[in-house]
Amino acid sequence: MALDYKWFEEMEARIPKGEVRTRFAPSPTGYMHVGNLRTALYTYLIARSMGGKFILRIEDTDQGRYVDGAVDVIYNTLRDCGLTHDEGPDIGGPVGPYIQSQRRDLYLKYAELLIEKGGAYRCFCGKDTDESDDAGFKKYDGRCARLSPEEIQAKLDAGMPYVIRQKIPREGETTFSDVVFGDITVPNDSLDDNVLIKSDGLPTYNFANVIDDHLMGITHVVRGSEYLSSAPKYNLLYQSFGWDIPVYVHCSPVMRDAHSKMSKRHGDPSYEDLLAQGYLNDAILNYVALLGWSPRGEREIYSLQELTEVFDITGISKSPAIFDIEKLKYFNSEYIRAASPERFAALAEPYIRSVVTDPAMDAGKIAAILQQRCEVLTDIPEKIDFFSALPDYPTDLFIHKKSKCDTAVALSMLTAVLPDLEALDSWDHDGIYGLLVEKAAALGVKNATLMWPVRIAASGKAVTPGGAVEICEILGKEETLRRLRLAVARLQAAE
């Protein structure tokens, strides 16, 4: 193949210079796992904290793993989390296309250029020497690297299929630097001559990554620590081309426990699963930021904007981070309590209406009694199901020592207050509260002695969001009176 040097010069001229540029380059495999979301977040924070650009690239050359709709999952996740990209397939940019399968024609050209520069060679050995990125087979012996130009041409003339392999120096060492793990040196003879271009002309993941990162001007590469072993070979590729090496930021894995990485295959939640389980975007993102990164000081709760202001890559830890669902639940409860009443009502309404279908019952008022008593949104239906149907409860729920209430006291309290509630015209919070407080005083008992049996009768539950007044207001006068009369009948029957 005759090389078009002018084309290579034009490609170089397109590369943006003089700014920090990071990229999130997911494969469209159908879901966003927690480790992948963390990579996206750290990549975004590095760019934003340094006044740079955050780029989205879709790496879809492995069509065997491609899942329909997966690209939409990527877009939706970034949008919902507020990780706005500056360049990408949907908005374009100076170094597109930003979908790897649309760039496939350029990889072979760079492989041919690498052959000319002495960093690669054609290998005619066939399938037995493997075409994958990291298959578990014995190291290739490099025999085709020793073919003479005449032997190579003869094989090409005969139409023999071939792959293109990276030519690793057999002597010396390669050292690469990583922000998290420091300098790491490996002997070159421990590295394999990786396949760069497969026999079908398509690139392997490792080669396409390096080419795309260079041509897109990527200055900081964030990826999982499982790629540490490949970093020396990446360095050698950059050096063979004569290109600048980006800053490497390898992040240790997110673990289920001290021994096992999180895995969707083993039932660990993806980002979408966590949303479905009632966790808020902001809480997930805040917690994920702290999975392997520590800000200075004791503070833990940060908005995305605040994270961009305090993020420093030197705070990323070498140690694996253990995903603790209880810790995430704590973060979520903090975000729920800190939300404006209007925002929480909007978030809670679908969960409220899944059980409380009567439009006369105000979803906003139900949300108000839930907000300080809710850890995850999926808690809501179980907490408020009594509004739609009074459960079959035992009369011993009326017994409460602190409120000085037993079944006999409960019966007398409910019998005494029912006529007053029946006569109440202003069925709202202040009206109900004022009546109950005045009635308790008239009966010579503490407020709790009257409020406890009213709440139990109205809800049929020992623990409820909101007290007697809030529950009666939401139920409405007719339903409240019906339930209190049923409680009286139940208590009378139990005597």
Q: Which residues are catalytic?
A: 264
Q: Are 181 and 318 in contact, with CB atoms under 8 Å apart?
A: yes
Q: Alpha carbon 475 to chain centroid distance?
A: 38
State both tokens at 495. 């005597």
Is residue 14 within 8 A of residue 215, CB to CB? The reply is: yes
The whole-angstrom separation of Cα 430 and Cα 25 is 57
Select from 391, 416, 413, 408 the least CA-distant residue to 494: 408
Interatomic CA distance for residues 481 and 80, integer angstroms: 45
Cβ partners under 8 Å of residue 248, min gap 6: 176, 177, 178, 179, 221, 231
C-alpha 381/C-alpha 360 separation (Å) is 17
Please tell me the distance from the alpha carbon of residue 153 to that of residue 297, in angstroms, as a whole number: 65
Is the CB of residue 220 less than 8 Å from the CB of residue 20?
A: yes
CA-CA distance, 131 to 205, in Å (whole number)?
A: 11
Q: Which residue has the tokens 């930003």?
A: 98
Rounded to whole angstroms, the Cα distance separating 179 from 216 reads 21
How far is C-alpha 199 from the chain's CA centre? 37
What is the DSSP pairing of strand 195-197 with strand 163-166?
antiparallel
Distance (Å, rounded) from C-alpha 326 to C-alpha 344?
21
Q: How many CB atoms lie within 10 A of CB 11?
A: 16
Q: Helix and strand tally (H, E) in the chain?
A: 19, 11
Q: 196 by DSSP, 3-state: which?
A: strand
Distance CA 15, CA 219 (A): 11
For residue 213, the tally of other CB atoms under 10 A from its CB is 23
Q: Measuring CA to CA, which residue among 280, 381, 298 is closest to residue 334?
A: 280
